[in-house]
Structure 1
Amino acid sequence: MLLSLLWKSLLAFCFSAFGASSFVINTTVALDYGTFTGLQDDDAGIIYFRGIPYADPPVNDLRWRAPVFPPSNYLGDVSAAEFGNVCIETATSTVPSGASEDCLFINVNIPVGTNSDDKLPVLIYIHGGGFQSGSSIGFPPNALFQSSAKPFIYTSLQYRLGQFGFLGGSQLKANGALNAGLLDQRAALRWLQKYISHFGGDSGRVTIWGESAGAGSTMFQVVANGGDTEGLFVAAMGDSPSMTFMPAYDSEYIEGIFTDFVADAGCDKDEDVLACLREADVNDLAAAGNDVLVSKPTTIFSFAPILDGTFISKRAVEAFQDGTLAPIPLFYGSNTNEGAHWSANIPAPWANTTSSNATEDTVYFFLQGQYSTLTNETFIKALELYPLTDYNNSYDLQGQQMYGEMRYICTAVLINKAAKRSAFQYRYDNPHLGSNHGADLEALFPSSSSSEANADDLALFEAMREYWTSFATGGTPVAREAPEWSGTGDPRMLLHPGGIHLENITDALSARCDFWHGLKEEIKI
């Protein structure tokens, strides 16, 4: 590696001396709105550029408006050695240190020795957190870079969350932007088109990737604008794509949240409500969003993407069923136990299936809390597909399976089934370390808990990183000493320690997924 880097540096010097434009990129990159100096880690072989603004801070009059891209002010010399502030999460009554409305940052990670004309493929990661929490911190590319057979550039972004990114209502439609958080993501993708070449990247080979709400984000980007990518990305990946409850922006449900939020923020007496909100103290807005969460004790996610009629003109199920999606390669999957433990975090005992007093009604109220238009009549029909005896007579296990499939597992099935190009689907199943929601991230972004992994786990993790990165660099997942993937979405790849292999999606799972997706109008998915 060291000799390779020295050779690249020597070549860059020679080319520069003789007037050639090619050069090795160092820790300082000049853009038209500022010069950014990152941090080089020779041990990891990575140059990190962190906290680069990709749009103007969405504060004051820019609240609930489309992001202003590119940044309109010249920033001068900027240190990009540390991450920027994270976006404000919804479940907080005050803005904590390190969080801010000024949070629209992108991080760029390049291999040491990258040449200015290398035109490396680009992978951009969108974090999860239910569209109400999370940040780009904690998803380092080190293991991905080490496992990849080909070099690439890894980037990650932040977007407005909760009440700042996903407030709805007809007043906001008339004087602002709906789904501002998704528009932030789109702006970051435009940033890549305009600037990634300065880092040695190829703007024509961008793959979007995310987990949970981040995977849901990539799903929405695939169907947004009627499936028009605007040339911003050429492939999409998603780990546990989230099928959110998506009422219309002017529905009673969304208008009710808007009214409650305005009142909680102290702006309900103002003639110009939005002017009041845009002038309000940010801590009041944080507290108002948290109050909305508290007022819905059976609901996990109160703020999420909505049907806005413009950027998102069709809900996900309809878009995938009628083919309104980008004709690009897709790579989506889920974990075996996606529905585990969600209900346990619900404060309302009548919707918490872990309660010793749980009944069939508890399961219904849990599901209705997430999809408020689900009727009891429909739920009774669903029970026929999920007989209690199949779950050891446990209402908790029954509710877990229903929620895990309707929100995550069946979403991956739907996306891959609808693909117009190649489709690659997986199921992560790890009995040793667990297969709950988010468990697969341990393979892709190893942490200290990876010390519990045995040899089979580590071999699985390596194969997964090779699969993921080869899709980003070449459009097809390939791993050494692991099976060849089907590009049809079914069969899907079972990612199991000591036994990676293709498996067919069962008729029973297909029937359950068809049931949930047949409810697209009722439960607004």
Structure 2
Amino acid sequence: MLLELAAVLGLSTLCAALASPGAPSPEGPIVDLGYVKLLGHRSEGVDFFGGIRYVQPPLGNLRFRAPVMLDEKTRAQTVTDARNWGDICIQQPASLDLGSEDCLTLNVWTPPHAKEGDKLRVALYIHGGGNYYAVRVASRPTVHIVRADFYQSAQGFPMNTWVTGSGGSIVAVNIQYRLGLLGFLAAKDVMENGSVNNGLLDQRAAIAWVKRHISKFGGDPNQITLAGESAGGADLIWQMIAYGGQQKPDFQGIIAQSIGTDPTPTEAQYESCYANVTAATNCTLSTGADTLACLRAAPLSAIVDAVNTKPSTCKFLPVIDGDLIQDLPSTMLREGRFSKVNFVGGHCTDDGSIFVGDPATFTNTTDGFVSAIKKRYTMLSNATVQRMIDLYPESEFGSQWERAEQAFGDTVFTCQDWYIADKLYKAGQKHAYNYRFNTPDPVQLAQFPWKKVMHTSDLFFLFQGTNSGPYPGVASHFAPFNGTEQALATETIGYWTSFARAFDPSTFRARGAPAWPDMTHGRLVIQEGRSFIEQRTAKYIERCNFWNEVGDEIRV
């Protein structure tokens, strides 16, 4: 492993990567935020500052509460080593050996010598992973990662190539936030004696920290673009509808990739899951206050046990709380209750494939088609099921599996991006763009050809050959690019960073890449070879409108 790292980084860089965190070397960039001075790591034309706390650790009495700001009024007397990542957050399945509650950190990549006053645009990435479950990623040594075999975390999505791909014209950030039970435990008791949707609140706190401090890294605090995929993309939409769109957000743009909103738990569902947690931790007490006090005092091992013994029907996810989240996204979008930010939204061609499973074991009947959709969306009425059958006629598909794959993708992944862009454009936001990503992750494709251009394919090209694994148990690593893969990675990163720089993906696009028009002129198909513009069909729009109309039944 060390020889491999030395070959990639060079011996001097490797030594810096392995330097003792207890005694920071003066070599390396230093950023002074006033309350803390950060020592970073310079490699391959990018400065990296990692493991930066953005709020107080959510431990003890702060467990199951909204994030609390750090004391930023003090003056730092010493330099803090920020040359590596912070601990990742506790996942699901959970383990005491991997992850920590003290995980609320972020990472910053800047061009070398970036300084206050440069006002570089900011791109901030929020990782996916269902907001709760474990997805393996491997570490990438070229961006100062030494350990391997990480679960879903900021470490799986290094952003140094976004900085270099922009010609040093952006500052890049990615963040960690509380996941699963620790981030999204919900119940009346929690609402009255703490807070719910803490994972989303963590994200907002991280964005607010960036707004306060990114100028010291050379960034522009008033030009922040968020990006995220799957649950990360869904979280961008939760942030977009936060507080009914009545509070001015700390971000100005969104790049939402394969928006993966899980069905929002009902009150009955999240109360049942809460009861399971209190029973598993022996915290079923007479009052809500006593129960929450018990949960906060419980050892982490008890929390881990509660995560690992929960019923399969329990998912700890964002819920409607009447404040931060006032209603389902479909309702909020339909009623115009969202922030009118600059927007890019898109999906992978076959986003639905992994969710309906291997076609070799699929029941090739209409009942099998319906069952595949109802497995996730359990509240569909008979009338909605019949309408779905009519909108996806068997005659249009080669198999019931293909029928299910298409319908499943349309429920949210492949439709909500158009719906949001359309709503924004009609509300006066002309910087609204759509895309379809049409080249598969080659690593996953080689192992599972039936997945085609599967969910997470775009991540392979945006993050240096990462294979984040679209669901638990899928091993992953960073794979080297061949020539055509590198060309597509350059093109895709060029579009993303151009949007961050100008709220227009065409302005600073890679040389030779086609111009990307706004959503009223079609959507860009991004692929190896030659990307092109396509028009949406009337059938696609009809299906997308249908799924939004039944948002109360699919709970998105």
TM-score normalised over the length of structure 2: 0.81
| Partner residue of 1:242 out of 250, 260, 264 | 260
Q: Deviations over 1:425-477 (max 9, x none)?
A: 1000126845211001122112276546453x433322211111010011100
Q: Which runs of 5+ in 1 are unaligned?
A: 1-24, 345-351
2:93 aligned counterpart, secondary structure: coil
**Aligned partners of 1:308, 1:417: CA distance in 2, in Å?**
27
1:239–1:334 contact (8 Å) kept in structure 2: yes
**Aligned partners of 1:96, 1:145: CA distance in 2, in Å?**
33
Partner of 2:125: 125
Matches within 5 A, 1:27-176: 27-41=29-43, 44-71=44-71, 77-92=79-94, 94-97=95-98, 99-133=99-133, 134-149=152-167, 151-176=169-194
Q: Is 1:189 paired with 2:207?
A: yes
Aligned residue type for 2:434: Q
Give the deviation of 1:72 after TM superposition: 7.0
Aligned residue type for 2:503: G
Partner of 1:367: 373
1:217 aligned counterpart, secondary structure: helix
| Partner residue of 2:305 out of 267, 287, 298 | 287
2:440–2:457 contact (8 Å) kept in structure 1: no
Specify whether residues 490 and 268 from structure 1 end up closer, same or farther in structure 2 by C-alpha distance, changes over 3 A only. Answer: farther
Partner of 2:326: 313
Root-mean-square deviation (Å): 2.3
Specify whether residues 468 and 355 from structure 1 end up closer, same or farther in structure 2 by C-alpha distance, changes over 3 A only. Answer: same
2:354–2:455 contact (8 Å) kept in structure 1: no
Partner of 2:354: 341
Give the deviation of 1:132 after TM superposition: 0.8
1:112 aligned counterpart, secondary structure: coil
Specify whether residues 89 and 96 from structure 1 end up closer, same or farther in structure 2 by C-alpha distance, changes over 3 A only. Answer: same
Partner of 2:544: 513
Q: Deviations over 1:292-326 (max 9, x none)?
A: 2xx22xx6x81221111100113211222222121
2:175–2:203 contact (8 Å) kept in structure 1: yes
1:371 aligned counterpart, secondary structure: coil
Give the deviation of 1:407 after TM superposition: 2.6
Specify whether residues 145 and 72 from structure 1 end up closer, same or farther in structure 2 by C-alpha distance, changes over 3 A only. Answer: closer
Matches within 5 A, 1:429-444: 429-430=438-439, 433=442, 434-444=452-462
Aligned residue type for 1:243: T
**Aligned partners of 1:182, 1:522: CA distance in 2, in Å?**
23
Q: Is 1:278 paired with 2:296?
A: yes
| Partner residue of 2:281 out of 248, 265, 270 | 265
**Aligned partners of 2:247, 2:521: CA distance in 1, in Å?**
25
1:173 aligned counterpart, secondary structure: helix
Aligned residue type for 1:426: Y
Partner of 2:405: 400
2:519 aligned counterpart, secondary structure: coil
1:370 aligned counterpart, secondary structure: coil
Q: Deviations over 1:79-135 (max 9, x none)?
A: 11110011111222x3223x1011000111111121222121111110010101421
Q: Is 1:418 paired with 2:423?
A: yes
Give the deviation of 1:483 after TM superposition: 2.0
1:425–1:489 contact (8 Å) kept in structure 2: no
2:28–2:41 contact (8 Å) kept in structure 1: no
1:179–1:305 contact (8 Å) kept in structure 2: yes
Give the deviation of 1:485 after TM superposition: 1.5
Give the deviation of 1:256 after TM superposition: 1.3
Partner of 1:255: 271
Aligned residue type for 1:96: D
Give the deviation of 1:196 after TM superposition: 1.1
| Partner residue of 2:499 out of 434, 453, 471 | 471
1:106–1:155 contact (8 Å) kept in structure 2: yes
Partner of 1:11: none
2:115–2:216 contact (8 Å) kept in structure 1: no
Partner of 2:555: 524
Partner of 2:339: 326
Q: Deviations over 1:350-404 (max 9, x none)?
A: xx8753556544444443342332234422321222233433223x333222221
Q: Matched residue pairs, number?
A: 481
Q: Deviations over 1:24-61 (max 9, x none)?
A: x96222234322211111xx111110000000111121
1:86 aligned counterpart, secondary structure: coil
**Aligned partners of 1:151, 1:274: CA distance in 2, in Å?**
47
Q: Deviations over 1:252-295 (max 9, x none)?
A: 11211111222122212454211111111112112212222xx2
2:155 aligned counterpart, secondary structure: coil
Q: Is 1:201 paired with 2:207?
A: no
TM-score normalised over the length of structure 1: 0.86
Aligned residue type for 1:460: L
2:123–2:226 contact (8 Å) kept in structure 1: yes
Specify whether residues 259 and 137 from structure 1 end up closer, same or farther in structure 2 by C-alpha distance, changes over 3 A only. Answer: same
Aligned residue type for 1:265: T
Q: Which runs of 5+ in 2 are unaligned?
A: 1-26, 134-151, 443-451, 466-476
Aligned residue type for 1:481: G
Aligned residue type for 1:235: G
Partner of 2:198: 180
1:353–1:366 contact (8 Å) kept in structure 2: no
Partner of 1:215: 233
Aligned residue type for 2:496: W
1:137 aligned counterpart, secondary structure: helix
**Aligned partners of 2:352, 2:420: CA distance in 1, in Å?**
19
Give the deviation of 1:180 after TM superposition: 0.3
**Aligned partners of 1:384, 1:364: CA distance in 2, in Å?**
12
Partner of 1:16: none
**Aligned partners of 2:169, 2:362: CA distance in 1, in Å?**
53
Choose 226-235 or 335-344, whichever is displaced more: 226-235
2:377–2:553 contact (8 Å) kept in structure 1: no
1:364–1:376 contact (8 Å) kept in structure 2: no
